[in-house]
Structures are given as structure tokens and as C-alpha cells.
């Protein structure tokens, strides 16, 4: 087939425009950049960045070291005695204990010049032990410090225009009860300022440690209006010389800015120096820079107008069309007036979209059919599983003339099979699935009442209405009775509980049966991901596959060793309500 002959070649236009913009920039840029302009600027800026990084790293290490020393005080015998049994200590014992605590606080304070003071707040002893004093306990201050510590997202607590290291014990992450004491270390703002001033060489330079969440600032000077303008440009999209270094303009003066962020302090440390003071050696390149800029702007303007009309607009339209297809719009059709490569691309794009629409329709329908068939196949393995043992139980009750339990058992059995047979739906509301599992558990609890007790929590009402695959809970409970508790002769326990998550729910089935070995636990977990169709799909893997078909691969079953030694199975489902 003959090659298409374009009336106007896009390639030709692109090459011509590329040469027009590249040639003058390359000739002038070759002279300028070979004289080391860019390299020198980067070296200077990198030197400043290294200085900032070195100080910030050392500061983080120092404060982290102080915090570790503070954590060690949690295990101090005197602090724990004063926090728990101060009422039974004699006055002499209390005084001696307080003196020893003060000695440790003094040692902590002397361990770093960044520490202004250290104290322990002890509610039970009604004391606030400071490194150089002992004062009466203030419940209000205790609550303020505790609240600030709980709300803090970093190791540093900012309170009353000061920085603190706060260690409550026990913490709110461990228990919800009130801390029995709080170790509180105040950091010295003056020492921070002194350290920052050591990084400057002139009055025009400055160094600032700024907290990005609450605005707390330590600086070599406190010109708030100036610093506000600097902070705005730190996080702007202004061009960077190198990583963590850029040129900013404040009140008409250009500055070289070097900065580094700190997750430890939730802050940014930055140093600014007037550009004229830094780049004095680069003055000889200024004239060449103006010439370079003027020519570059002229060429870029010409190139931009040319490219925008003949290349940018057609490409942009094609990109927007692809975005429409990405969002699901398969009815789009684009045309191009000029007979060039874009017309060819547009026509093939239109053909591709039409073909894609046809293929998606076919693929989607096929996927739905395959999924429903697979779910039907998996679910069918469960439906008859319980029937076999039911009549044996009834037979035994009839032979022993246990008519009272026969009546109760047949009622429960009727409710059980009513759930199984009354609907052919693949999915049910969660509360009905839970009620069915509860009925089954009561039936089994009657059967094994002499050796097993079952505890079944109520499903929180907020999770009613969540649609789940049928029979995801009862087979797991059945497995627990038959295998987990099968060999238990007495005091067997089965629990079914519910744990709320931020975006979902955990249904926890746990028993105190045989202790699960690590190899067996690994074997069960491997069964969940069974992909070999030649292998028999077990009830556990059946449920896991159906949950993942319904909700996605991040949900399904989780197998763990329970607190009671037996098997714990967790059903993980998202919080999403849909109609059955």
C-alpha cells in the first residue's frame, strides 16, 4: 500500500521550530554555562542546604536523645511509688523520694543545654516535683498538659509559647484511664535562638525554625511581616536552584533560601541570605544573562505562537478526548480540518473508541456472567452441609424422650432451613446473615451443652443493611464446633463478637480448642489463596473467595491464633449499604 502523502507535514514543522528555538539558545548557553554559572550557583546553594541539614539533623538527634532519657524515668522506682502509694508513705519516705526524683530531674536537665527545666506532675501525691523546687499539684495545669500531649502529632508539644517534651504514664494509646504521672521537660527557646545565630555571618542573614501546624517560631530576629512573606514562598512553586534551595524576593530584595523540613518537629528550618552577598563572583555574567534572556524570550514567543497553533491545539484536543474516554464517555467523535497526521490520528482514534465500546460491552457482560456462575458454584457447596447431622440429633432426642428440647430444636431447625430455602438470592442483609448464624449456634450449643458454651454478641444497628454474600458466617462457626472444639471434653468456649472499624467491620469467631501450631496456621492461610481449580475448595476458602468477589481483594478472611489458644477467624467487610 502506498504511503500517505501529507499536504502539510507535522514532522517538518516540528523540526523547523525545534531548530529555531534550539540554535540561539544553544550558542549562547554554551558560552555561559561553560563558564560554570550553574555549577557555581548549585555549589553555593548546596553548601547552605548542607549547613541547614547538618544543624537540623543534630538538633533532632539531641532532642530524641533527651526524650529517650525522659522515657527511662517512667521506670523510676520513686516516681512510681509516689504515684501509687504516696498515701501510705511516711513524711520522711516522701521527702527522701522527692529528693531522689529531683536528683534525677537535675541529671536530665544537665544532660543537654537545650533543656530549661524538668518536672514530674504526680496527682496522687498532690505534688509537682521540679528539678529545683516542689510545688502544690495543679489539676488544671495537669489537664492542660495532658490534653496538649494527646492532641500533639509529633514528639514536641507546643504550649504557652514554649516547646515541651511530655511523657504521660500510662499513655492514652495504652489505656483510657487517667495518667498516674506526667514527666514534662521544657526546652529552652533562648538556647535554640543562640544556636540559630551561630549559623549566620551578618545581620542581613537569618535562620528560622517554623512549625507548620501551629505557627510557633524560633528565629534570629522576629520581623513577623518579613517571615510571613518568606514562608509563603517556601511552599510556592517558584523555581528551585537545587533540592531544598531557591531564590525568593521579599520587599524588592532577592534572597537565596535554603530549607529542610522535619517530621520530628513538624517544622521547617530555613536560612536566607541576600543574593548579592552570595553571588558576587557571578556579576560578570549579568550582561550575558540579559542578552540570553532577551533572545530566549523572543525565540520562545515565536516558537510558542507557531507550536500552539499547529501542534499544541491538536494534541491538546486529542488529550482531552482521551480524558473523556478515561471517564467513560465512549460516544466522543473528533475531527481535524487540515489534511495531515492529526487527521489520520483522529480518524483512527474514532475507530478505536467505537471498537473499544463494543469490546467493553462484551467483556463486561461476560465478566458478570462468570462471576455469578462462580459465586453460585461456590455457594452450592455450602447449602447441603448442615442437613446430614440434623436428623441424627432429632433421632437421639426422640429415643431419649426429650420432648421439651425436641420442640425447641425443631423450631430452631425450621428457622434455619427457612433461611436456606426461602430465597435464591446470592446476597442478604448482614443482620439476617447474623441471625441465621445465631440460630445455628443455638442448635449446636444444645447439642454440645455438656461441654461447650457459646457466646454470641449483638450486631450493632449501624451495620444493619450492609449487603453480604449468603452463608459467610455459619460455616465458620460449624468449622469451629466440628474441628476447633471437636476434641474438647469440657469447658469449651466459642465466642462471636463484632469490632467497629473506621470504614468497616470485623466479625470475630474464636474458640479455645486445640492450640494451633505455626505450620498448621500457615497451611490454613495458604488455603485462603487457593487458585488451583483441581483442588477441592474448602468452606473457609469458599467464603474468602466470595467475599473478595463481592468487596475486593483488601477484604475477606483473616486467620490468627486466638487469645485462648484456639483458632480465631476474622471476617473483614467494608461499611457500604446497598439494596439487596
540-559 pLDDT per residue, tens: 887 888 888 888 889 999 99
According to the model, what pLDDT value does residue 2 have? 41
Inform me whether the pLDDT recorded for 142 exceeds 80. yes
Q: How far apart are CA 549 and CA 379, in angstroms?
A: 12
Q: End-to-end alpha-carbon separation of the chain, Å?
A: 57
Half-sphere CA count of 569, side-chain side, radius 13 A? 25
- In this prediction, residues 346-355 reach a mean pLDDT of 88
Three-state secondary-structure class, residue 213 = coil
Could you tell me which residues come within 8 angstroms of residue 323 by beta carbon, excluding any fewer than 6 positions away? Answer: none
Could you tell me which residues come within 8 angstroms of residue 245 by beta carbon, excluding any fewer than 6 positions away? Answer: 45, 46, 48, 49, 256, 257, 258, 259
Find which of 28-37, 271-280, 509-518 is predicted with most confidence, using mean pLDDT: 509-518
**Helix boundaries (H) for 402-468:** 403-421, 430-447
> Alpha-carbon Rg of the chain, whole angstroms?
37
Inform me whether the pLDDT recorded for 531 exceeds 60. no
Q: Which residues pair with 272 in a beta bridge?
A: 206, 257
Find which of 149-158, 376-385, 524-533 is predicted with most confidence, using mean pLDDT: 149-158
Could you tell me which residues come within 8 angstroms of residue 357 by beta carbon, excluding any fewer than 6 positions away? Answer: 330, 331
Going along the chain from its start, the domains and CATH numbers come out as 76-187 (3.30.450), 299-356 (no CATH), 381-574 (3.30.565.10)
pLDDT bracket for residue 385 (50, 70, 90)? low
Q: What is the mean pLDDT of the chain?
A: 82
Q: How far apart are CA 97 and CA 168, in angstroms?
A: 19
Q: What does the DSSP assignment read for 88-140?
A: GS-HHHHHHHHHHHHHHHHHHHHT-TTEEEEEEEETTTTEEEETTEEEE--HH
Inform me whether the pLDDT recorded for 132 exceeds 60. yes
pLDDT bracket for residue 325 (50, 70, 90)? confident
To the nearest 10 degrees (0 to 180), the angle between helices 10-33 and 286-307 is: 170
Answer yes or no: are the C-beta atoms of 281 and 301 closer than 8 Å.
no
Among the residue ranges 71-85, 172-186, 288-302, 355-369, the one predicted with the least confidence is: 355-369
Question: Which of 336, 337, 360 is CA-nearest to residue 348?
Answer: 336
**SS3 track for 305-351:** HHHHHHHHHHHHHHHHHHHHHHCCCCCCCCCCCCCCHHHHHHHHHHH
According to the model, what pLDDT value does residue 234 have? 81
pLDDT bracket for residue 431 (50, 70, 90)? very high
- pTM equals 0.45
Task: Give the residue with greater pLDDT, 198 vs 5.
Answer: 198
Inform me whether the pLDDT recorded for 266 exceeds 50. yes
Inform me whether the pLDDT recorded for 502 exceeds 80. yes
According to the model, what pLDDT value does residue 525 have? 86
According to the model, what pLDDT value does residue 1 have? 40
Q: What ranges make up the beta strands (E) of 440-491?
A: 452-456, 467-469
Q: What is the dihedral of CA 484, 488, 490, 493, to 10 degrees?
A: -10
Q: What ranges make up the beta strands (E) of 138-215?
A: 157-159, 162-169, 181-187, 206-211
Handedness of CA 253, 258, 263, 265 (dihedral sign): negative
Inform me whether the pLDDT recorded for 344 exceeds 50. yes
Handedness of CA 396, 400, 401, 406 (dihedral sign): negative
Q: How far apart are CA 50 and CA 115, in angstroms?
A: 26
**SS3 track for 216-276:** CEEECCCCHHHHHHHHHHHCCCCCEEECCEEEEEECCEEEEEEEEEECCCCEEEEEEEEHH
According to the model, what pLDDT value does residue 3 have? 43
Q: How far apart are CA 529 and CA 360, in angstroms?
A: 28
Amino acid at each position: 500500500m502506498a504511503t500517505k502523502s501529507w499536504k502539510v507535514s507535522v514532522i517538518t514543522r516540528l523540526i523547523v521550530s525545534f531548530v529555531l528555538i534550539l540554535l540561539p539558545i544553544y550558542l549562547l548557553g554554551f558560552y555561559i554555562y561553560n563558564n560554570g554559572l550553574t555549577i557555581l550557583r548549585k555549589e553555593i546553594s548546596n553548601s547552605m542546604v548542607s549547613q541547614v541539614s547538618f544543624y537540623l539533623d543534630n538538633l533532632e538527634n539531641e532532642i530524641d536523645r533527651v526524650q529517650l532519657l525522659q522515657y527511662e524515668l517512667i521506670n523510676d522506682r520513686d516516681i512510681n511509688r509516689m504515684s501509687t502509694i504516696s498515701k501510705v508513705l511516711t513524711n520522711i519516705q516522701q521527702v527522701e523520694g522527692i529528693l531522689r526524683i529531683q536528683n534525677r530531674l537535675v541529671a536530665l536537665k544537665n544532660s543537654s543545654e537545650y533543656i530549661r527545666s524538668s518536672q514530674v506532675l504526680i496527682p496522687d501525691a498532690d505534688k509537682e516535683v521540679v528539678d529545683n523546687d516542689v510545688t502544690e499539684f495543679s489539676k488544671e495545669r495537669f489537664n492542660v498538659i495532658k490534653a496538649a500531649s494527646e492532641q500533639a502529632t509529633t514528639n514536641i508539644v507546643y504550649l504557652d509559647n514554649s516547646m515541651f517534651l511530655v511523657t504521660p504514664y500510662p499513655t492514652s494509646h495504652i489505656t483510657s484511664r487517667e495518667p498516674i504521672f506526667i514527666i514534662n521537660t521544657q526546652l529552652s527557646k533562648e538556647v535554640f535562638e543562640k544556636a540559630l545565630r551561630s549559623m549566620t555571618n551578618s545581620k542581613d542573614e537569618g535562620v528560622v525554625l517554623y512549625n507548620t501546624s501551629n505557627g510557633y517560631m524560633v528565629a534570629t530576629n522576629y520581623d513577623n511581616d518579613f517571615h510571613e512573606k518568606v514562608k509563603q514562598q517556601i511552599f510556592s512553586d517558584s523555581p528551585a536552584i537545587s533540592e531544598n534551595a531557591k531564590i525568593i524576593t521579599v520587599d524588592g530584595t532577592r534572597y537565596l533560601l535554603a530549607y529542610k523540613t522535619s517530621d520530628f518537629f513538624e517544622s521547617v528550618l530555613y536560612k536566607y541570605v541576600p543574593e548579592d552577598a552570595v553571588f558576587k563572583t557571578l556579576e560578570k555574567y549579568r550582561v550575558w544573562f540579559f542578552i540570553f534572556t532577551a533572545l530566549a524570550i523572543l525565540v520562545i514567543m515565536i516558537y510558542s505562537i507557531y507550536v500552539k497553533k499547529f501542534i499544541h491545539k491538536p494534541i491538546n484536543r486529542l488529550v482531552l478526548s482521551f480524558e473523556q474516554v478515561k471517564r467513560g464517555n465512549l460516544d466522543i467523535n473528533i475531527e481535524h480540518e487540515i489534511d495531515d497526521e492529526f487527521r489520520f490520528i483522529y480518524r483512527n482514534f474514532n475507530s478505536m473508541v467505537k471498537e473499544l465500546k463494543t469490546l467493553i460491552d462484551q467483556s463486561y457482560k461476560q465478566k458478570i456472567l462468570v462471576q455469578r456462575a462462580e459465586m453460585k458454584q461456590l455457594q452450592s457447596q455450602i447449602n447441603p452441609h448442615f442437613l446430614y447431622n440434623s436428623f441424627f440429633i432429632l433421632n437421639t432426642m426422640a429415643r431419649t424422650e426429650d420432648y421439651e428440647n425436641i420442640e425447641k430444636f425443631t423450631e430452631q431447625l425450621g428457622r434455619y432451613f427457612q433461611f436456606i430455602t426461602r430465597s435464591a438470592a446470592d446476597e442478604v442483609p448482614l443482620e439476617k446473615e447474623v441471625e441465621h448464624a445465631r440460630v445455628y449456634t443455638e442448635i449446636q450449643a444444645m447439642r454440645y451443652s455438656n461441654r461447650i458454651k457459646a457466646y454470641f454478641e449483638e450486631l450493632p444497628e449501624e451495620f444493619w443493611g450492609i449487603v453480604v454474600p449468603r452463608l459467610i458466617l455459619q460455616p465458620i462457626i460449624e468449622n469451629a464446633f466440628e474441628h476447633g472444639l471437636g476434641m474438647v471434653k469440657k469447658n469449651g468456649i466459642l465466642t462471636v463478637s463484632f469490632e467497629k472499624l473506621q470504614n468497616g467491620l470485623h466479625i470475630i469467631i474464636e474458640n479455645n480448642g486445640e492450640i494451633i501450631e505455626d505450620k498448621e496456621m500457615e497451611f490454613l492461610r495458604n488455603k485462603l489463596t487457593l487458585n488451583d481449580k483441581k483442588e477441592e475448595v474448602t468452606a473457609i476458602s469458599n467464603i474468602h473467595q466470595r467475599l473478595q468477589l463481592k468487596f475486593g481483594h483488601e477484604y475477606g478472611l483473616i486467620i490468627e491464633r486466638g487469645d485462648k489458644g484456639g483458632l480465631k477467624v476474622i471476617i473483614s467487610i467494608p461499611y457500604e449499604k446497598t439494596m439487596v
